[in-house]
Amino acid sequence: MGWTESSTIQRSLLEWAEEAGWERFRGDELPRDEHDVVIENWAREALLALNPELVDDPESAELVLHQLNQAVLDANNGLVAANERLTVMLRGDHSFPTIDGRHVPRRLIDFDDPDNNRFTVSDEVTIAGAVKPRRFDVVYYVNGFPLVVAETKTPVKHTVSWVNAAKDIHDVYEEEYPNFFATNVFNVATEGLELRMAPIRAVPDPDSEIWAPWGSTEDDPKVVTGPARVERAARLLLRPETILPILKDLVMFRHARDASEVDVKFLPRYPQFEAALAIHDKVLADRPGGLIWHHQGSGKTELMAFAAARLLRDDAVLEEFGGAPTVIVIADRKDLVRQTAEMFETAGMPRMAVPHDRQELHSLLRGGEPGVVITTVHKFAEAGHLNDRSNIIVLVDEAHRSQEGKLGDAWRAAVPNAKFFGATGTAIQDKDRSTFKLFGDPSDPDFVMSRYTPEQSIADGFTKPVIVEGRSVGFSLDKEALDEAFDELAAEEDLDEEEKVYLSGKASHIETILSNPERVAAVCADIVDHFLAYVAPLGQKAQVVAYNQKLVIAYARAIEAELERRGAVMLDGRLREVGVVMHVADSKDTPKEYRKYLLTSEQEEALKRRFKKVDDPMSFVVVTAKWMTGFNAPIEGVLYLDKPAKEANLFQTITRPNRPWKNPITGQRKDYGRVVDYIGLAKAIGTAIAGPKAGVDEDDDLNVVDASKLAGKFVSDLTKLLHLFAGIDTTDSSFESLAAAHERIPDGSAQRTEFVEGYVALQTVWEFLDPHPMLLPFKQQYLWLAKVYESIRPKDVSKAFLWARLGAKTTELIHGHMNEVLVKSMASRTVTLDAAGLALVKRIAEQLRLPTDEPAGDQQVDVYQQVLDSIEARLHRRLTESESPVYRSLAERIEKLRTKAIENVQDSLAFLEEALKIAQDVVAADRAAAEGDEETLERLADPKRGVLTQIVEENTPPGLHQIVPEIVDRIDAIVHEVAYTGWTSSDSGDKSVRRELRAVLKNYGLPIKGDLFDRTYQYVRENY
């Protein structure tokens, strides 16, 4: 028997359900008519058992069932509205009429004691009455109400996936039989390789973040994958302990605000579910609070809404503390309060207040009214003591900011017996601050009650990786002329040495460099270049972070000028625009040029709305502090960073572009967020993303990828894929070539699977990086693979999804072949002599005692050739400089600042670093020649082989030393033959080198394990 959905994942779902306590029935065994949604006999039994007063009032019981059935039928007039109404009924919050005209709440499900419910799972459940009967694969009933529908597909066909199952639910079942989904909590789609869950009316596609995976924050996403992840997800999700809490407290509905919107149901993701329940448990256990450390952009505001709803709805909390709780949600900025309040309001949060001022907040808290209070931390200033109640729960957003010091002390003093829970994406641990100690419960591991890492968030698709592209902003400096001019100024102004030191210190501030008009123009031109090439074609927007208000305005004007000069327009012909957001004081002392950018809250919100619309020409927003944190705009595809930042603020800033986004016009989705770094913060970015260590054993991989490294990975992966077609001429586009390729990847073979999976991954990187210059030499081979893939691609894959992913790029590719309408020049390889580059040249010159005179006039010099010629010529003139012993020259201080703050973040200076090594070897060779040291000269003739010789000699028996050169020749030859660019990051490349290296050692009777192999392999890995 072949593998089918019923014999694989469907059967497993039923088995796992039975193990979780569900009673199993075949669809045709259920006590229902095929037209029925609710199994009425079971619903009636539960109704009477949970509402015993109805046993003697059968007519009122029938009224309850009648109203339930009527609500189910109303789904034909609007599924989301009907689902919301039935959710309220199933929770027990709805008052049903009685035969004598009263309205009484009725319990339909026992949430307090799950054992009092009937849990039933059934397969092949048929529903009839519409166009044609339909059959659901697996349905999970509680007391006769179908709460979960699971659609399954076979796991062994490339042509189907969980998306096909989700489309069946969304496009067919919910359309034809909306009444069957009226009581639905969520749907599940799986083919056994992935499992996704979603609320009703969730549109599926392969990259959907609404159809979300389920799992556990305790799992490593690199380990728990594929079928193991599916089983883990099913066992955690499809059990009463998960379904009932979601139904009771964590289902929310966002209501349409105008005709352009629709009502939406939304559900918690698993990290939100875990954390919301953990907060609830800690409150009931009377713990002081806890720290939630979830990756930036993974939904902490929604988490607070879910947690607040569970606390406010739970009778156990009321009983524990003798009254309903007050939940205080604290943010540190007004705009975040506004965003949070909007989220809570659209989610239907009961009893919510947003105090306008301190007095209103203080009055609210003194009164002790239950409900949700959303406010800023600053309104607690001078509050004093407000309330001693212990059933006050404080949920602090962005818990790493403004929650310590006087303000933090103020709100803790105001409600001293409250429970304090902090949510952050950037926990801080340094000598002055500790988010862990401020919010952490000592009973939690490493003071963290819930941890959701960047790796988990990205693996789940809730956030996107961040690509960091470095920029070198270099400049030359005539030190002697600058010093001379400064001395003249000092003489004219009769400055003493102390005054000169002070002036040089003030002038060497980083703003001096960043505000240079030529630098501003160069950076902004590069920003527009990058934006038009990589970001605009995807319909995404850009944020620019500048050093201060003056530079914000300068950058905005420069970018506007560049856009106008290039005629950068939208599809409808409107010129792209640049917005400015910064704090401007409404004061008579505020400069006139700043007052233009003084925005009211309403104007700032309007600008946000424009920025978030794909068809609005507001393409850039330039900021300095505002919108660097707490700003959620998924359409933002890139952040251009030209302002020093560190730790938490840096992390918050660079994660702005990490939100998933789908272009509503083309359907294309964001694969990566981009950060283009003009300030040299690569190391700081890495540190910020890793975050502080919550425990000594934690090891967070970084999710910042250099674009050049991504291109290197593309080349490596391309090489691996081409290995499948070794010997076939990829320049041959004939049928014979295609037929030969098909023979290498026969249908159903492991090679076919390897090719399909490898090409799809390769395609994603190509689509993202194109037009990266590193890709150009491999374009022909990539297009040949694309032709092979197209010829074997499953023909029934949704064309809509294919166009959604590749449409924009395909159109651009076609335009690129239209009679060379646009000719793009590709800059040749150059070295940018920024501060780091100048330092390297200086070190080379010092090593060789070379002059460092700069070329006269405008003479252009090939830096590569100059360095090589200088090393070869061995010029014997040493640079001498005279510096004042009294004060450091202004030029020297600026150079030092430039090296420290604007260092190149790429490896574009690797050539100069290598040249320095050569220079050092030249000096060593001169010394060895003078001393007659032939061994050193031989080693320096070929440094790699010289070191290999030393390693082999030290680890071989004395009798074999005479054949050491032969062994080294063999190792050198086989490594050059087997290794290729990027082999160290490729499993197959690494294995090939290891295998061939062992073969050489074995041929000479040498041990293939131990120090000889380890040292040889390590040296080869580092140097070949």
- 236-270 residue pLDDT tens: 999 999 999 999 999 988 887 777 788 889 899 99
β-strand pairing of 450-452 with 392-396: unpaired
- Per residue in 625-639, pLDDT tens? 777 665 778 999 998
Structure-token pair, residue 171: 């496009």
The pLDDT, as a whole number, for residue 980 is 56
Instruction: Give the confidence band of 916 by pLDDT, cuts at 50, 70, 90.
Output: low
For residues 292 and 272, give the distance between their C-alpha atoms in angstroms, rounded to a whole number: 10
* More reliable by pLDDT, 703 or 329: 329
pLDDT at residue 52 tops 90: yes
pLDDT at 206: 74
Find the mean pLDDT for residues 332-354: 64
Number of H helices, E strands in the chain: 39, 25
What is the enclosing helix (H) or strand (E) of 469?
strand 466-470
Residue bearing the bigger pLDDT, 831 or 311? 311
Range in 72-86, 389-403, 720-734 with the lowest mean pLDDT: 389-403
What pLDDT is recorded for position 895?
42
Cα(first)–Cα(last) distance of the chain, in Å? Answer: 51
For 131, the token pair is 């166009």
| % of the chain with per-residue pLDDT over 90 | 32
Q: Which residue, 205, 157, 165, is CA-closest to 803?
A: 205
Min mean pLDDT across 380-384, 578-582, 694-698, 739-743 is at 694-698
The Cα 834–Cα 829 span in angstroms is 15
Measured CA to CA, the distance from residue 770 to residue 785 in angstroms comes to 16
Q: What pLDDT score does 906 carry?
A: 39
More confident residue, 613 or 855: 613
Q: Does residue 4 have a pLDDT over 70?
A: no
H helical segments located in 285-314: 300-313
Which is more confidently placed, 535 or 686?
Answer: 535
Can you give the pLDDT at residue 999? Answer: 77
- Least confident among 403-417, 468-482, 1009-1023: 468-482
**Highest mean pLDDT: which range of 46-55, 303-312, 413-422, 754-763:** 46-55
Say how many C-beta atoms besides its own lie within 10 A of residue 342's C-beta: 16
User: Is residue 637 within a helix (H) or strand (E), and if so which, with residue range?
Assistant: strand 636-641
What is the rounded distance in angstroms from the CA atom of residue 14 to the CA atom of residue 89?
Answer: 28
Q: Residues 130-178: pLDDT tens digits?
A: 889 999 999 999 999 999 999 999 766 666 789 999 999 999 999 999 9
The answer to which of 125-129, 415-419, 700-704 has the lowest mean pLDDT is: 700-704
The model's confidence at residue 405, banded by pLDDT at 50, 70 and 90, is low
H-only helix segments in 478-632: 479-492, 497-507, 510-514, 517-530, 549-566, 592-595, 601-612
Asked whether residue 862 carries a pLDDT value surpassing 50, the answer given is no
What's the mean pLDDT when you consider all of the chain? 77
Determine the distance from the C-alpha atom of residue 595 to the mean position of all C-alpha atoms in its chain, rounded to a whole number: 36
DSSP 790-841: HHHS-TTS-HHHHHHHHHHHHHHHHHHTSTT-S----PPP-----HHHHHHH
pLDDT at residue 345 is higher than 50 = yes
Contacts of 493 by beta carbon, 8 Å cutoff, 6+ apart: none
For position 484, what pLDDT does the model report?
65
| Burial annotation 231-247 (CB, 10 A radius, 16+ → b, else e) | bbbbbbbbbbebbbbbb
Which tops the pLDDT comparison, 15 or 971?
Answer: 15
Mean pLDDT of 841-863: 47
Lowest mean pLDDT among 432-446, 682-696, 779-793, 995-1009: 682-696
Give the pLDDT score at 811.
33
Tokens of 141: 């009933």
- The residue ranking higher by pLDDT, 728 or 770, is 728
Q: Does residue 845 surpass a pLDDT of 60?
A: no
Q: How confident is the model at residue 188 (pLDDT cuts 50, 70, 90)?
A: very high
Mean pLDDT of 45-59: 96
Residue with tokens 């507001």: 618
Does pLDDT of 1014 surpass 90?
Answer: no
Specify whether the CB–CB gap between 931 and 923 falls below 8 A: no
* Mean local confidence (pLDDT), 678-692: 57
For range 26-44, the mean pLDDT: 97
Please give the structure tokens belonging to residue 492.
Answer: 């004219």
List the structure tokens of 686: 């890495």
CA angle 12, 15, 16 (to 5 degrees): 85
Task: Give the model's confidence band at 805: pLDDT under 50 very low, under 70 low, under 90 confident, else very high.
Answer: very low
pLDDT at residue number 911: 47
Q: What is the per-residue pLDDT for 125?
A: 97
Distance CA 424, CA 730 (A): 51
CA angle 320, 322, 326 (to 5 degrees): 90
Q: How far apart are CA 197 and CA 214, in angstroms?
A: 7
Nearest CA-CA partner of 250 in 233, 219, 274: 274
Residue 545 has pLDDT above 80, yes or no: yes
Distance, in Å, from the CA atom of 68 to the CA atom of 85, rounded to the nearest integer, reads: 10
Enter the DSSP assignment of 580: E
Cis check for the bond before 773: say yes or no (omega within 30 of 0): no
Output b/e per residue, 597-625; b: 16+ Cβ within 10 A: bebeeeebeebbebbbebebbbbbbbbbb
Nearest-angstrom CA–CA distance, 645 and 629: 12
Pick the range with the lowest mean pLDDT from 37-46, 170-179, 814-823.
814-823
Position 760 pLDDT exceeds 70: yes
**Listed range (116-120, 604-608, 702-706, 783-787) with the worst mean pLDDT:** 702-706
Comparing CA positions, the residue from 338, 254, 300 lying closest to residue 609 is: 338
Q: How many residues does the chain have?
A: 1024
Calculate mean pLDDT across residues 116-142: 95
Q: What proportions of the chain, in percent to the nearest 5, are helix, strand and coil?
A: 50, 10, 35
Higher pLDDT, 380 or 980: 380
Q: How far apart are CA 145 and CA 43, in angstroms?
A: 7
Whether pLDDT at 291 is above 50: yes
pLDDT surpasses 80 at 952 = no
The H or E element that residue 868 is part of is helix 863-873
| Mean pLDDT, range 165-194, rounded to an integer | 96
Contact between residue 38 and residue 68 where contact means Cβ atoms under 8 Å apart: yes
| pLDDT at 351 (0 to 100) | 76
In this prediction, residue 35 carries a pLDDT of 95
Among candidates 770, 799, 540, which has minimal Cα distance to 662? 540
Q: Distance between CA 580 and CA 620 in Å, rounded?
A: 8
Q: What is the pLDDT of residue 616?
A: 96
Segment among 61-65, 107-111, 853-857, 957-961 with least mean pLDDT: 853-857
Q: Positive or negative, the Cα torsion across 515, 519, 521, 527?
A: negative
pLDDT at 126 over 90: yes
Between 593-597, 627-631, 839-843, the lowest mean confidence (pLDDT) is in: 839-843
**Closest C-alpha among 248, 304, 251, 238 to residue 276:** 304
* pTM over the 0.85 mark: no
Count of CB atoms within 10 A of residue 736's CB?
Answer: 10
> So what's the pLDDT on residue 632?
78
Half-sphere exposure (Cβ direction) of 628: Cα atoms closer than 13 Å: 25
The residue that leads in pLDDT, 1000 or 24, is 24
Helix, coil or strand: residue 136: strand
pLDDT, residue 886, reads: 21
How confident is the model at residue 471, as a pLDDT?
76
Mean pLDDT of 39-63: 96
